[in-house]
């Protein structure tokens, strides 16, 4: 590792995050369940597969347009299980609360967790609470873990992505990242930019899995750019996407242009990236567009037969360039 103390960029979901995970965690914990480093681990218990995942939530501010820390803590874990092809069933939640945190705020957060769990049809079955001295944590951190089971389908794996597969996303990109940035820094960007935070289990189970996708991934930190690079590296083929077909709402696009942020790398909390054969793509797309979380679904590109694991984009003006793995935090430009 090239650093002695952990820099903030290690938490941003880019190349430095994966360097830390591989060099420190995977090196020590490595086993056949962890090795794939996908959204959930697949475990075999008494000849039945279950999916298991965990995630910690440290969002600032706790409330932002479109959601709050509690809602993403439930949706995030539901989505990590769902994109693996599992039906999410049970969730645990651990709260680390800073001394002096207002009870009313906690009630609001817990209520939205309840609503999100009802929406996703999962049960919160176990939990833990720790209160730390003032200043030892920033207001509230939540960890959720979840288990899910597989129906008739087996677990999805990005190694199964094939040349010719189409790539679909279920709607506008980057809205979570920009909504949180706007709220955190009082940027005052108007245009009703809301986080896309949503549980995707129903969308994936009803509208995607029946059409046998090769893989589905959850594009959160590091955005679409991170997921496409991981997928390309894992399957070994190049990926080609089309800039004009990327769904990004006009207010988010304008905010990204102004701040110098690439929407391809901005965070989402309700976006699945689906790799699916050409013949099934249209049917899946039609079905997804009928679902409330998939109305703006779009085919954004395909997996090429070229080997090399690189991601390419055809820009609006017809040129080609590479999409590399995101590096660290996306920081707005100066001028």
Return residues touching other proteins (CB under 8 A): 2-3, 5-9, 15-16, 185-187, 244, 250, 253-254, 257, 260, 262, 310, 315-324, 327-329, 331-335
Q: Between residues 78 and 193, which has the closer beta carbon with respect to other proteins?
A: 193
Would you call 228 helix, strand, or coil by DSSP?
helix
Give the shortest CB-189-to-other proteins separation in angstroms: 10
Report the C-alpha gap between 264 and 268 in whole angstroms: 10
Give the shortest CB-126-to-other proteins separation in angstroms: 35
Report the C-alpha gap between 289 and 164 in whole angstroms: 22
CB atoms within 10 A of CB 22: 12
Query: Can you read off the two tokens belonging to residue 307?
Result: 């080997």
Report the C-alpha gap between 311 and 26 in whole angstroms: 25
Report the C-alpha gap between 172 and 205 in whole angstroms: 20
Please name every residue paired with 166 in a beta bridge, in sequence order, or none if there are none: 276, 302
Would you call 138 helix, strand, or coil by DSSP?
coil
Report the C-alpha gap between 315 and 243 in whole angstroms: 5
**Helix or strand (DSSP H, E) at 274:** strand 272-276
Give the shortest CB-30-to-other proteins separation in angstroms: 24
Direct distance between the N- and C-terminal alpha carbons of the chain, in angstroms, rounded to an integer: 33
Q: Between residues 2 and 103, which has the closer beta carbon with respect to other proteins?
A: 2
Q: Between residues 15 and 194, which has the closer beta carbon with respect to other proteins?
A: 15
Give the shortest CB-25-to-other proteins separation in angstroms: 18
**Nearest of 94, 205, 203, 198 to residue 148 by alpha carbon:** 205
Give the shortest CB-64-to-other proteins separation in angstroms: 15
Helices 175-184 + 250-259 axis angle, to 10: 60
Q: Between residues 156 and 238, which has the closer beta carbon with respect to other proteins?
A: 238
- Work out whether the CA dihedral 118, 182, 53, 241 comes out positive or negative: positive
Q: Between residues 156 and 311, which has the closer beta carbon with respect to other proteins?
A: 311
Q: Between residues 119 and 262, which has the closer beta carbon with respect to other proteins?
A: 262
Torsion, Cα of 251, 261, 271, 326 (10° steps): 170
Alpha carbon separation from 160 to 227, 239, 296 (Å, rounded): 15, 14, 26
CB atoms within 10 A of CB 243: 17
Q: Between residues 123 and 306, which has the closer beta carbon with respect to other proteins?
A: 306
Q: Between residues 128 and 244, which has the closer beta carbon with respect to other proteins?
A: 244
Report the C-alpha gap between 133 and 333 in whole angstroms: 36
Give the shortest CB-19-to-other proteins separation in angstroms: 8
Q: Between residues 12 and 53, which has the closer beta carbon with respect to other proteins?
A: 12
Query: Can you read off the two tokens belonging to residue 238?
Result: 């190049």
């Amino acid at each position: 590792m090239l650093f002695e103390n952990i820099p903030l960029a290690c938490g941003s979901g880019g190349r430095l995050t994966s360097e830390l995970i591989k060099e420190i965690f995977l090196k020590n914990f490595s086993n056949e369940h962890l090795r794939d480093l996908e959204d959930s681990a697949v475990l075999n218990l008494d000849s039945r597969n279950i999916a298991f995942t965990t995630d910690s939530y440290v969002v600032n501010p706790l409330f932002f347009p479109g959601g709050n820390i509690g809602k993403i803590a439930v949706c995030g874990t539901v989505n990590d299980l769902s994109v693996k092809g599992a039906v999410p069933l049970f969730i645990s939640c651990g709260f680390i609360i800073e001394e002096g945190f207002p009870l009313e705020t906690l009630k609001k957060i817990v209520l939205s967790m309840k609503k999100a769990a009802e929406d996703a049809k999962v049960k919160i079955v176990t939990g833990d609470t720790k209160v730390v001295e003032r200043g030892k944590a920033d207001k509230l951190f939540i960890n959720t873990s979840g288990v899910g089971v597989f129906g008739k389908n087996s677990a999805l794996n990005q190694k199964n992505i094939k040349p010719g597969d189409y790539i679909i996303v279920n709607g506008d990109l980057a809205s979570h990242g920009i909504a949180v940035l706007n709220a955190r820094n009082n940027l005052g960007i108007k245009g009703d930019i809301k986080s896309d935070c949503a549980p995707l289990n129903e969308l994936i189970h009803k509208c995607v899995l029946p059409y046998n996708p090769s893989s589905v991934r959850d594009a959160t930190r590091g955005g679409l750019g991170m997921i496409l690079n991981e997928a390309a590296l894992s399957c070994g083929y190049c990926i080609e996407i089309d800039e004009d077909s990327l769904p990004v709402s006009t207010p988010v696009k304008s905010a990204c242009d102004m701040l110098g942020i690439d929407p391809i790398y901005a965070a989402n909390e309700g976006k699945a990236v689906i790799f699916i054969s050409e013949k099934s793509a249209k049917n899946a797309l039609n079905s997804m567009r009928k679902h409330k979380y998939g109305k703006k679904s779009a085919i954004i590109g395909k997996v090429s037969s070229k080997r090399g694991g690189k991601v390419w984009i055809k820009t609006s003006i017809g040129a080609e360039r590479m999409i590399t793995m995101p590096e660290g935090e996306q920081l707005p430009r100066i001028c």
